[in-house]
Amino acid sequence: MEVKTWFDHVLEWREKFIKEKHFILILSLVIGILTASAAALLKGAIHFIQHFITERMDETEANWLYLVYPIAGILIAGLFVKYIVKDDIGHGVTKILYAISQRKSRIKPHNTWSSLVASSITIGLGGSVGAEAPIVLTGSAIGSNLGRLFKMEQKTLMLLVGCGAAGAIAGIFKAPIAGLLFTIEVLMLDLTTASVLPLLISSVTAATVSYIYSGQEAMFKFTQTQEFIIERIPYVVILGVVCGLIALFFTRAMSWIEGIFGSLKTFWKKFFLGAVILSVLIFLFPPFYGEGYDTIETLLKGSCEGILDRSLFYDYQNSFGTVFIFLIFIIFLKVFASSATNGGGGCGGIFAPSLFLGSIIGFAFAFTFNHFSEAAASFHFLSVDYLPEENFALMGMAGTMAAIMHSPLTAVFLIAELTGGFDLFLPLMIVAISAYFTILLFEKHSIYSIRLAKKGELLTHDKDKAVLTLLNCETVIENDFLTVTTDMSLGDMVKVIAQSRRNVFPVIDGNNVLRGVVLLDNIRNIMFRPELYNRFEVKKFMISPPGKINVSMSMDKVMQLFEDTKAWNLPVVDDAGHYLGFISKSKIFNAYRDVLQQNFSEDT
């Protein structure tokens, strides 16, 4: 007799007294509390490490320790992952997309803590990445494993994964609306009225807990000193286009660099390459150190004072040319620093790098315009003579994030909630939309989804392809087609036709290799003439099929073959050409409808 544990009794009590939809709301509340606590723990660990190792650095000269700390960070984090976690924990949001795409929404239990440890070490010691993707993976893992603990079904698991992600964003940024929108735009969850409420509860709960931990101030201190005027709209649009193009460079460059690191087969080769790139870049450009939030706060004050601190160029901070070149190098080299951090063994995301990059782009845009505006005014083609640098730094953050993540709504609300800059809502929307449509002309996938798209595993963003991928050839093969052989006479063929309910007959040889097909319509004129029964053999009137389906083909390739051949039935063979059966369009459509009803229905 099976002995029940105390938790089994808890599950039975829950099923008896708490309705499923109410229990989901309770779980979403718990997820919000846990994810906000995890976010506070991660931020606290990062800031403690950074403060401990940098408080004694001299701001007036280059610091050679920048050549050491980041290397130590990615080495310790890499060894931790390699020998303790023993699993790949990078690309957190991509992993969530994959888990959702496979309709399992199962994230490994160690992801509830492993990313916290690895990313705090990586970023605290100077890795040029952000803590947001690791905390999103942590939050989603909390939601997934909590749901599995209480034996929730797959559709509910998917919703709880979204609750974890929403709570993580809301908790780390104090941005509940952005947390909800991130789940909708980036994770592409299918939401109904019933499923929005748990996401809202997780987001609001996480943000509230975050307020309790760290106060009610916005994450970045921003004061709007100048109101936005309509005459600046053309410049905002131009900034959006610039952000979109640089985001395109960032996305393509990161994909290329990841390919280089991926081609290196050993951990130590990856580490040494990442260590060299990262340490040199941080030594030359100290703003690359860590998340870069100190730099963002400086730029949001409308000043670049201090941006050259702890660098070789400290003595030239009053030179426009030096500052301008310094900012340009930062814009185009940030992707190398972030990619080297993750590629070399570190753990982090691109949330913070996109915010950092956007603030630099926006500030540099206005900074350059203001420097030359007085000279250009003499040509009488400027509609304004000054662009507020702090406002444009804020807008650049929205534009770059919208383009890199393909999430304009998340970017707008996140930047507004991060800084309290709700008075700039109109220009934030303009720059986000401009940047998003600019990158969309060249790249249809976000930096998160492009990795899965290359492997053909991106299903959250294409519902038809998602359903097809849940099917496979073996599940839709029909075996009720009667076979004939090449040496069979027409008379014997007629006997087979009398026993069949099909009008297509596969022709095989002695080794069961498909040689062709016989179509009933093609022999209708001779099948009723008994005098011809012994004169014709099957090989005389068989034809080649319009196409053959290999049993290992993906279902989207099968559908493409049907589209190309205009056929309704196609034979299926294995790699050796052995006949296995037929697949018909009607069978695929029926299976498609069944999977659609089972996996994508709207009830929660």
User: Which DSSP string do the residues of 41-108 spell out, in sequence order?
Assistant: HHHHHHHHHHHHHHTT--TTS--GGGGTHHHHHHHHHHHHIIIII-S---SHHHHHHHHHHTT-----
SS3 329: helix
CATH numeric code, 466-599: 3.10.580.10
| Cβ contact 260:340 at 8 Å | no
**Mean pLDDT, rounded, for 218-235:** 82
Site of tokens 């941005």: 175
- Binning pLDDT at 50, 70 and 90, where does residue 133 land? confident
Both structure tokens of 44: 């606290």
pLDDT at 173 over 80: yes
| Helical ranges in 188-309 per DSSP H | 193-214, 233-263, 267-284, 293-299
pLDDT of 568-591, one tens digit each?
888 999 888 899 998 887 777 777
Prediction pTM value: 0.76
Fold of 15-214: Clc chloride channel (1.10.3080)
Q: Which residues contact 265 (CB under 8 A, 6 or more apart)?
A: none
pLDDT at 104 over 80: no
User: Which DSSP string do the residues of 225-237 spell out, in sequence order?
Assistant: -S---GGGHHHHH
**Helix or strand holding residue 483 (H, E):** none
Question: Which pLDDT value is given to residue 528?
Answer: 82
- Binning pLDDT at 50, 70 and 90, where does residue 604 land? very low
- Binning pLDDT at 50, 70 and 90, where does residue 223 land? confident
pLDDT of 279-334, one tens digit each?
999 988 888 998 888 889 888 888 877 777 777 776 667 778 888 899 999 999 99
What does the alpha-carbon distance between residue 219 and residue 201 come to, in Å, rounded to a whole number? 21
Beta strands in 420-513 (DSSP E): 484-485, 504-508
**Mean pLDDT, rounded, for 178-193:** 77
User: Minimal CA–CA distance to 579: which of 514, 482, 502?
Assistant: 514
Question: Which pLDDT value is given to residue 222?
Answer: 78
User: Minimal CA–CA distance to 220: which of 299, 297, 291?
Assistant: 297
Question: Which pLDDT value is given to residue 189?
Answer: 64
Residue 553 has, within 13 A of its CA and on its CB side, a CA count of: 22
pLDDT at 380 over 60: no
Range with the lowest mean pLDDT among 53-62, 355-364, 497-506, 514-523?
Answer: 53-62
Q: Share the mean pLDDT of the chain.
A: 84
Both structure tokens of 269: 């080769």
SS3 515: strand
pLDDT of 514-539, one tens digit each?
989 988 888 888 888 888 888 888 88
Q: Which residues contact 141 (CB under 8 A, 6 or more apart)?
A: 107, 108, 109, 111, 112, 164
Domain ranges of the chain: 15-214, 230-459, 466-599
- Binning pLDDT at 50, 70 and 90, where does residue 600 land? very low
> Quick one: residue 566, left, alpha or beta (phi over 0 = left, psi -120 to 50 = alpha)?
left
pLDDT at 593 over 70: no
Torsion angle, alpha carbons of 203, 205, 207, 210, to 10: -140
| Cβ contact 506:582 at 8 Å | yes
Residue percentage of the chain with pLDDT more than 90: 34
b or e along 493-520 (b: 16 or more beta carbons within 10 Å of the residue's beta carbon)?
beeebeeeeeebbbbbeeeeebbbbbee
| Cβ contact 360:297 at 8 Å | no
What does the alpha-carbon distance between residue 275 and residue 260 come to, in Å, rounded to a whole number? 14
Q: State how far the alpha carbon of 3 is from the alpha carbons of 6, 430, 508, in Å.
A: 10, 63, 58
What does the alpha-carbon distance between residue 134 and residue 116 come to, in Å, rounded to a whole number? 7
Question: Which pLDDT value is given to residue 430?
Answer: 95
CATH class of 230-459: mainly alpha
Range with the lowest mean pLDDT among 6-20, 170-184, 570-584?
Answer: 6-20
Farthest CA pair distance, the chain: 106
pLDDT at 557 over 50: yes
More reliable by pLDDT, 450 or 382: 450
Matching CATH topology for 15-214 and 466-599? no
From the number of C-beta atoms within 10 Å of its C-beta (0-12, 13-18, 19+), residue 264 rates as middle
Rg over alpha carbons for the chain, rounded to the nearest Å, is 30
Both structure tokens of 150: 């209480």
From the number of C-beta atoms within 10 Å of its C-beta (0-12, 13-18, 19+), residue 109 rates as middle
| Cβ contact 292:304 at 8 Å | no
The whole-angstrom distance between residue 435's C-alpha and the CA centroid of its chain comes to 18
